[in-house]
A and B are shown apart, each in its own frame.
Chain A
Amino acid sequence: MILEALSYGFMQKALIAGIAVGLICSFMGTFLVLRRYSLFGDGIAHVAFGGISVGLFLGVFPLWTAFIVSIFGGIGLQKLRQSTKISGDAAVAVVLVSGLAVGVILVSSSGGFSVDLFSFLFGSILLISNEDTIMILAISAGIIATLVVLQKQFLHLTFNEEQAKLVGLRTTLLNYAFVILASITVVTSMRLVGILLISALIVIPNITAMMFGKGFKKTVCISMGISVISVIGGILLSYFLNLAPSGTIVVIAVGILVGTLVLKSTGLLQKVDIKNPSEITHNS
C-alpha cells in the first residue's frame, strides 16, 4: 500500500520537498528557539502573506514577492529590536500585524481570497510542481550549506552576543545574515504546512530534541530526525486517511513531543542517557 502511494509523482515530490523543508526548519529552528525567536517564523510568515498578496495583486509569481517582502520584514524586525527598546515579542507582533494588514487590504482590493492564497495559508505540499520541488531543494541545500559553514558563529551569537563580539565576531553582520536566512527558510517552508502552521515545524522538533540533553550537533540531528519522521508520517497518513497533510504533519510532531514529555516525566529518558563513569566518580 505504501509502495503504491510512493509510485505517484505528486507523492514523490511532496516527500522530497517535505523532507528538505523539515531539515531546514529544524536546523534554523534550533537557533531561533534558543534565541527566543520562537515566534519569528510566525511573524515572518504573516509578512510573507503580505508579500504573496502583493504578488497576486500585481500578477507576479507570489513566492518571489513573498521572499523580497519577508527579507525586508526580517531586517526591519532586527532593526526594531536593536535601535529601540521594544522587546523581542512586541517587535514580532508589530511586524506580524503590519504584514497581515497589508495583505488584507490588497486581498480585499483584488476581489477576495483565491485558491492560490488558501494554498499558502494552509499549505499545499501535494500540489507542488516539478519546478517548485527543484526550487525548494536548491534553496534548502543553500540554507543547509550556509548553516553548516556559520554554525559555530551562530551558536556563539546565540549563546551570548556580547561574548561573541569580544572574541572578534562581527555580530551586527551575523545578526542580519541570521534574520535573512531565517526569512528565506520560512518562505520556502510555507508550501509544506502553510503560513498558519509554520511555527510548529520550527519550534516543536527543537524543544523535543532539547529534552534529550545532548550537545549541539546531536540535538540538531535529533531535531532533524523528528522533523523528517513527522513529515513522512504526516504525508503518508494524510494520503491514506484523506486528511490535510499540513495539519497531520504538525499533529505527529506534537505527538512525538508529548511522548517525549511522558518518557521524561517517568524517568525513562534519563535512563537512556548513559554517563561516562569518570564523570560520575568526579561528581559524587
Chain B
Amino acid sequence: MSVTNVLDVKDLTINYDNQPAVDNISFDVQQGDCLGIVGPNGAGKTTLFRAILGLQAFSGKIKLFGFEDSKYKSIIPLIGYVPQKVTFEPNFPATVYDVVSMGLISDKRIVQGAKLIQECGCCWNRIYQTIKKKDDKITQALHTVGLEFLRNRRIGELSGGELQRVFIAKALVKDPLLLILDEPVASVDVESQTKFYNVIKTINKENNITILWSSHDLDAISKYANRVACMNKKLFFHGEKEKFFSDKELLKMYTESSMQMHMHNHDMH
C-alpha cells in the first residue's frame, strides 16, 4: 500500500457560539514534514490542534494515516502534544523523570495503535511489541532534549525553557507518529529558544518525526520548517516555505497583523 499522508484535514469548520473559529480549511501533512503554522492570536491555531487531538467537536474530516472515527481515536495516543502552557501546582511533588514517564503510562494503547498502523502497511516501520525498557526510553528522551542532568529535579524548580523541554521529552518518549507543538517558546528566553529549536531540528531530521508547529517566530519558521500554513480562521496559504517567504504581500499582511481584513481581498482574487 502506498504511503498515505500523516494527516489530512478537509473542509474543517469549528464554531464557537455560531462564530467560526476555524472556517472551512483543508491541508495535508506528509511524512517527515515540519509544518509551521502561522497566524495572529485568535486565528484558530490551538482550536485546530484540539480538533486533531480529538478534544474539540468539528464538522468536516480529519484523517490520521488515513484513519477516521474510532480507528482514529485509537491512534491518538501516538500523537505527541506540547501545549502552549501546562498549569500545575507549584509544589507538585513530581520530578522531571516522573513527568516524562507519564508519556508511557498507557503503553498498551500505544502498542495497539502502532500495530493498527503497521497492519495497514503504512510507512510506520517501528516495531512495537511491548515497551519493556521504559527507563531506557525515558533516559533517551531526556538526552534528546538535553535534560538528563535534571532527571531528579522537581518540576516546580525548573525555568520556563526547561519545562517546555520536559514536556517535549514526555511527548517524545512514546516515539510519536506526529508531534504537535502549540507556540512552544511563547514564554521562553532567547537562549532557551535556541536550545529548543535545535531539539526540534534533531527530532525532525534525525528521528524523522513529523512535526506540526505553531509559532509567531517567522525567523525560526524560515530556518526549521519545510512547509508553512498561514491561517486566520481561514487558511490562505499552505505550501513550501520558500514560496511563502518570497510572497512579500503575504508577509506584509502577516507582520502587520491585518490578515483578517486582507484575507477577504485575497480570497476574492
Contacts and interface: CB of A to CB of B under 8 A. Distances in A.
B2 interface: no
B106 A167 contact: yes
Contacts of A216: 93-95, 98
B94 A155 contact: yes
Contacts of A159: 88, 92, 94, 99, 102
Interface stretch (B115-123, B145-153, B239-247, B261-269): B145-153
A265 interface: no
Given A159-B94, A166-B77, A215-B93, A152 B105 contact: yes
B76 A166 contact: yes
A279 B86 contact: no
Contacts of B98: 155, 215-216
A267 interface: no
A172 B182 CA distance: 25
From B87, B93, B98, B153, residue with most partner A Cβ within 10 Å: B93
Contacts of A213: 154, 157
Contact of A160 (B77, B88, B110, B153): B88
Contacts of B213: none
A215 B92 contact: no
A276 B152 contact: yes
Contacts of B94: 155, 159, 215-216
B77 A168 contact: yes
Contacts of A30: 93
A104 interface: no
Interface in A156-174: 156, 159-160, 162-169
A167 B149 contact: no
Given A34-B92, A159-B94, A282 B106 contact: no
A79 interface: no
Nearest to A163: B86
B254 interface: no
A36 to B, nearest CB: 8
B251 interface: no
Contacts of A276: 149, 152
B152 A167 contact: no
B76 A210 contact: no
A166 B99 contact: no
Given A160-B86, A278-B149, A169 B93 contact: no
Interface string B155-192: 00100000000000000001000000000000000000
A152 to B, nearest CB: 5
A276 B154 CA distance: 13
Contact of B150 (A34, A162, A169, A279): A279
Contacts of A169: 105-106
A164 B77 CA distance: 10
A155 B3 CA distance: 38
Interface residues of A, number: 30
A133 interface: no
Contact of B149 (A211, A214, A219, A279): A279
A278 to B, nearest CB: 5
Contacts of B93: 30, 34, 209-210, 214-216, 218-220
A98 interface: no
Given A34-B89, A155-B94, A156-B105, A162 B149 contact: no
B53 interface: yes
A175 interface: no
Contacts of B76: 166, 168
A153 interface: yes
B159 to A, nearest CB: 9
Interface in B177-226: none
Interface string B61-103: 0000000000000001101010100111101111101110111
B55 interface: yes
B55 A165 contact: yes
Contact of B77 (A155, A167, A214, A219): A167
B93 to A, nearest CB: 4
B154 A215 contact: yes
B238 interface: no
B154 to A, nearest CB: 6
A31 to B, nearest CB: 11
A279 B105 contact: no
A34 B94 CA distance: 11
B10 interface: no
Give 8 nearest A-B pairs by CB, closest first. Answer: A168-B77, A168-B106, A219-B93, A168-B109, A215-B95, A156-B102, A210-B91, A216-B93
7 contacts: A166-B55, A166-B79, A168-B76, A169-B106, A215-B154, A216-B98, A282-B150
Interface of A: 30, 34, 152-153, 155-156, 159-160, 162-169, 209-211, 213-216, 218-220, 276, 278-279, 282
Given A152-B102, A159-B88, 17 more contacts: A152-B105, A155-B102, A156-B102, A162-B83, A163-B86, A164-B102, A166-B53, A166-B76, A167-B105, A169-B105, A215-B97, A215-B98, A219-B93, A220-B93, A276-B152, A279-B149, A279-B150
